[in-house]
Chains A and B, each alone.
Chain A
Amino acid sequence: MSDTAQITIERSRTRLSPRSAARLRRYTLRGVALVYLGAMVALPVIAVITKGFSEGLEGLRTALAIPGATAAIRLTLITSTLAALINAVMGTMLAYVLVRYSFPGKRFLSAVVDLPLAIPTLVTGVMLVALYGPASPIGGFLDRLGIQVIFTPIAIMLALLVVTLPLVVRSVQPVLQELDDAEEEAAATLGANGLTTFRKVVFPAIRVAIVGGTLLTFARCLGEFGSVVLVAGNRAGETLTAPVFIFQLANQFRPIEAAAVATLLFSISFVLVLVTARLLRRKEDDA
C-alpha cells in the first residue's frame, strides 16, 4: 500500500497536477477495496449460489429428498430460535447487571462474558465433551439420573448458547451506558416498581439493540458448526444440524446439493444480518 502511495506521489511531482494526483490516489484506493471485497467475498458467494441452482431447483429438491435433510433444517431452525430467545433474555439481563449494578467480581464477569469471542468454537465443543461426556463425573452423574446431554439436542443447545452468549450483551451494553440513569431513578422515586421502571423507561431505549443482538445470535446459530459437530452425534433425523448436513454433502462430493442447502440457509441469515446492521445504525443516528 505504501508502495502505491509512493508511486502516486512521485508521479504527482513529475507529471500530474496535485488535483489529478489526488483523484488518481482516490480511485486507486477505491479500486483496491472493490477488488478485495469483490474477489474475496462476492465471488465465493456467487459461486455457491450459481452452483446450487445450476440445475434450477433440482439441486435443492434432490438435497431435501435425502433422508434427514428436512429434519436437519427443522432442527437448526428450532434450536437457533430457542438459543436466540434464551440469550436475548439472559443477555439483556447481563448487560443491565454489568452496567447498572456494582458488586464484587463485576469486572471478572464482564471479561468472562467476552470469552466466547476468543475461544475457538471447536474448543467449546471439546469443553462440553470433557464436562458432560460419559467419562466425566458430571456426565456420569447425569447419566445415572437418566439425563443424556452429549449426543442429544441438549448438547446442541448448550453449544449454541455458549458461542452466542456475548452477542446480545455487547449489543445492549453500550446503549445502556449512554442512557442516563436519572430517568430510572425518577421513576423509582415516583413509586414505580423495578419491573415497571424497566418496562416503561429502560426497555423502550434498548429495544432496538436487543432485537439487533438477537437477530445476530439467530444468524450465527444457523451456521454454527465447530461447537456443534463434536457434541451433537450427528444422527440423521435426530441430531444432525443443517451446517453438519452441508458438510456431509460436500464430503460426499455432492457440491450442487450442498450449495443449494447452503444458499437456502445463508439467504435467511444474510437478510437478518442486514436488517440488524440497519437497525443498529439507525439507532446510532437517533442517538
Chain B
Amino acid sequence: MRTPSQPPVSLPGGGRRRLVRSLIVVVCVAYVGVLLLLPLVGIVVTALKPGWSKVVETFSRPDVQHAFVLTGVITVIAVVVTTVFGVITAWVLVRQRFVGKSLLNALVDLPFALSPVTVGLAAVILFGFGGWFEPFFEARGIQVIFAVPSMVLVTIFICIPFTIREVVPVLEEIGKDEEDAARTLGASILQTWRKVTLPNIRWGILYGVALTIARSIGEIGAVLIVSGLIKGKTETATLFIFTAIEERQTAEAYIVALTLAAVSIVLLVAIESARHRIEGRKVRT
C-alpha cells in the first residue's frame, strides 16, 4: 500500500496540511477513546477490583450458572434456525425471480427497524394472556410466554437479517457460472451445493453466525418483556445483569457484564478475520 501522505512536490502550506492531518487523527482517536475505550477500561477495573475471589464466588452461584446456560441454549437455537433458513432465503432472493420479491426483501430489513421492545410486545400480543395463539398452546399445555419458547422466538426475530444480509452479496458476486458448470459436468444438486456453493459462501455464513451469536447473547429489550424474570428459570445472562443492577448487587453485575463483553470481543476478532478472508477472496476474483 502506498502512503498518500506526501504530495509529489513540496506544496505551499505542506507543513500546515500535515498538521491538520495529525489534528484530525487526534480528534478521531480522542472521540473513540473517550466514548468507547474509557468505559471499557472502566468496567475491567471496576469488575476486577473486588478481587479474584469475587469472580469465583459469582460464577459458583447456581443462578449465574443457570443464566449462562440459558443464554447458551437460546443462542444455539437462534443460530441454527437463522442460519439454515437464512441461507435458503438468501438463495431464493438471489437466484429466483417472482412476484413479491421486493416485498420479501423489505421484510428481511424489517427487524433492523424495530425496537427490541416492540418485538417483545409482539410476542406478548401473539402468545400472552388473551393473545391470538394463546388458546391453541393453552389447550396443549405448552407455556410460551414467560417461558423459554418465547425468548427463543424473539431472539430469532431480531437475528433474522444478519445471515441473509451477509450471504446475499456473496451469492450475487459468485454468480451461477460455477454451479452451472458443475451441473453440466454431471454433479448432482447436492454435490454442487456441497462442493461449489457452500465453499464459496462459507465466510459469509460464518460472518452472519458471529453477528447472530453476538446479538443473541446480548439481547435484552425483547427478552426482558417476554421472560417474566423468573429467577433460575427464565433468567438469561443479560437479565441477570439487569436485575443485579436494580438490586444493587453491582459487583456481580459488573463481572457478568465483563464476561459477556469478553466473549463478544473474542467473537469480534473472529468476525474481523472472517471479513479479511472474504475481502481477500474479492481481490482474487
Residue ranges of A at the interface with B (Cβ–Cβ < 8 Å): 1-2, 5-6, 9, 25-26, 29-30, 32-34, 36-38, 40-45, 47-48, 51, 90, 93-94, 96-97, 100-103, 105, 109, 111-124, 126-131, 135-136, 138, 158, 161-162, 165, 181, 184-185, 188-189, 191, 193-194, 216, 219-220, 222-226, 229-230, 243-244, 246-247, 250-251, 253, 255, 258-259, 262, 265-266, 269-270, 272-274, 277
Contact = CB atoms under 8 A, between A and B. Distances in A.
Contacts of B185: none
Contacts, number: 291
Nearest to B239: A122
Interface residues of B, number: 99
B174 to A, nearest CB: 16
Contacts of B107: 37-38, 41-42
Contacts of A32: 85, 88-89, 92
A37 B114 contact: no
A117 B210 CA distance: 10
A121 B215 CA distance: 9
A250 B120 CA distance: 9
Contact of B104 (A33, A47, A255): A33
- 5 closest A-B pairs (Cβ-Cβ)? A120-B218, A223-B115, A44-B122, A131-B42, A225-B221
A230 B96 contact: no
Contact of B32 (A100, A113, A251): A113
Contacts of A40: 153, 156-157, 160
Nearest to A30: B92
Given A96-B24, A102-B5, 9 more contacts: A29-B92, A45-B122, A51-B125, A105-B29, A118-B265, A120-B260, A129-B245, A255-B128, A274-B113
21 contacts: A33-B91, A90-B31, A112-B32, A112-B36, A114-B272, A117-B214, A117-B268, A118-B264, A120-B219, A122-B218, A126-B253, A127-B42, A131-B38, A189-B7, A193-B13, A223-B117, A226-B116, A229-B242, A262-B118, A262-B121, A265-B118
The DSSP consensus for interface residues of chain A is helix
Contact of B110 (A1, A41, A129, A184): A41
B211 interface: yes
Interface string B91-121: 1110010100000101111111111111111
B220 A111 contact: no
B55 interface: no
B265 A115 contact: yes
Given A118-B267, A273-B113, A126 B254 contact: yes
Given A1-B88, A120-B217, A127 B29 contact: no
Q: Which of A9, A47, A270 has the most CB of B within 10 A?
A: A47
Contact of B113 (A36, A112, A266): A266
B181 to A, nearest CB: 17
Nearest to A107: B272
Given A93-B27, A123-B257, A274-B106, A41 B157 contact: yes
Contacts of A222: 115
B123 interface: yes
Contacts of B56: none
B37 interface: yes
B257 A269 contact: no
A63 to B, nearest CB: 12
B115 A265 contact: yes
Contacts of B92: 29-30, 32-33
Interface in B1-55: 1, 3-5, 7-9, 11-13, 17, 20-21, 24-25, 27-29, 31-32, 35-40, 42-43, 46-47
Interface in B224-259: 224-225, 238, 241-242, 245, 250, 253-254, 257
B282 to A, nearest CB: 11
A118 B263 CA distance: 9
A108 B41 CA distance: 15
A26 B94 CA distance: 12
A126 B40 CA distance: 10
Contact of A188 (B11, B96, B238, B250): B11
